[in-house]
Structures are given as structure tokens and as C-alpha cells.
Amino acid sequence: MTRAQEYIHALMENVAEGQIGSDEHRLTFARIGRKLSSAEDFENELRQLYKVAGLSQFTLGLMWIADRVERNEIKKEYTTEEQSFVVSNFRYAVGDTEEPPLWVAQQSQEEVTAGEPEVQAEPAPPEEETLEMPRELQMETPGESQEPGQLPGTPPQAPAGGSEAEFAKQMEKFVEAVQSGSEDRDGLVQSVLSQSTSLSAEGSTAPGDLREFCQYFVGFLQYILENGFIDDVRVMNIVSNVSGPVSSWAQASPDAREGLLSEGTEILKSFKSLFE
């Protein structure tokens, strides 16, 4: 097993019985752990797990942790925060909880001492909201049962108005392209960047909360393009988390949108802490 594979195996193998209440869900969690630990190609197994309906966000968390382990040779033992994060994401995926966790930027003392700042995972505040996950744990190939541009496991989007609807639609396509590594990704990032710039420009008629979100989103896109981070797992995690608020905002009626974009905006305000 690779270092990351051993790390993930230990983390999942040692989850206390009480952390996952349902016997059925505990067995599913254990089966996933065994499959990952016995895989000859660990990275490919994670990619296949990502395609299971409802498990994309859970898998992104495992990918994030595996990436951190490979980047930091002194990282030997998982933390309780990482284990709690993985379990919480799994419980959200299978419908045990209504609110998923979110990565929070924090440096551990071990990593600071080594001179290699890393991102520490912690459970999110209760109010955090991200991609909606269905409870069906079945294999699903993106594009077979969804509308074009729709994320795996998300419901069809309700129409919004004008350029706002187009922005939400392009955001979905962009997130899907980043997560799958699609060849359309480069073109979509330019399209989303152009739309975000237009919506956030002075004189734009877009609602204030959307203008603010787009201002920070433009900065994020420019940063990852300038630094060549488009394939970085941290980018994958960020775009997955900010797309949820955008989808919720686009589906809501104008008088019910207040505050829906705030969480996505806050993520974008502090995204550079994940890359420092």
C-alpha cells in the first residue's frame, strides 16, 4: 500500500461504532474502507468511488487527505479532526445528517515545525451548506442520467432570470469539468471568468450579493490560472463548496435569496490560506 493508502486505511478502520449509528451504514463504510485498502491503483479507486451517486463530496475529502499525506512525509498518523470530517461527510452522503462539514484552514504544530504549512481539516459549523447528496449508493456515470452540465447527484436546476440563470448554468458545467478533468475545462473557466467579470463590473444590474460573490470569484479564478493550480485537489474542493450556494441562490425566488451566497463568498475571501 502507498503511504496515503495506509493512512486512509487506518483512519477508516478505527472509526468507533458509535460514530455511525446505523448497522447498514457501518457495513457500507467498512466495505468502502476495505476496497480502498486492497486496491492496486489507489488513485484510480478513488476516482471510481467519486462516480458513485452521492459520494462525490465524501470522496473529495479522502482525496484531500491523501494529497496532504503525500505532500508531507512527516505526517504519519491521522488526526481526530480528519476522522471526524470523513465520518461526517459519509453520514451526510447516506442521509444521516442534514449538514455537511467544510474544510477550515488551520496549521498543525507538527506541520509548522517542519516548515511545511498545510491545511488542517475540521468539522464545519452547523450552518455550512454544500452539494446536495442523494441517499442511493449506486454507480452512476456522469452524463447518462443528468441534464448537460448537471453535477452528479444534484437535482435539475430551476430556471432563474437572464444572465443570472446563464451564470448558474455555466458554474455547474465548470465545476463538473474541474472534477472530471474534462477537456472542456479550459474553455469553461474562461467563460465563467468572463461572466463573473461582467456581473461584478461597475454599473452591473446584478443583485448586490451576486456582484460581491463574483468579485471574489474573479480573484480566485485569476489566481489559480496564474499559478497553474487548475488540477489541484484544493481547487476541486473549493469549487465544489462554492457551487452549492450558487445553485441554491439561482433556484430561490428573488425575495428568498438573502444570505444564500454568503457562505460561498466567505470561502472565496480566504481561499489563499489553503495555498500558503
pLDDT, one tens digit per residue, over 198-252 is: 888 888 888 899 999 999 999 999 998 888 888 888 888 888 888 888 888 888 8
Cα angle: 53, vertex 89, 178; to 5 degrees: 60
The rounded distance, in Å, linking the Cα atoms of 194 and 215 is 11
- Ordered by start, the domain boundaries in the chain are 3-113, 162-274
Please say whether the beta carbons of 52 and 139 come within 8 A.
yes
Across residues 143-165, what is the average pLDDT?
41
Give tens-digit pLDDT for 261-273: 999 999 999 888 8
Closest CA to 269 of 197, 227, 216, 229: 216
pTM: 0.47
DSSP 77: S
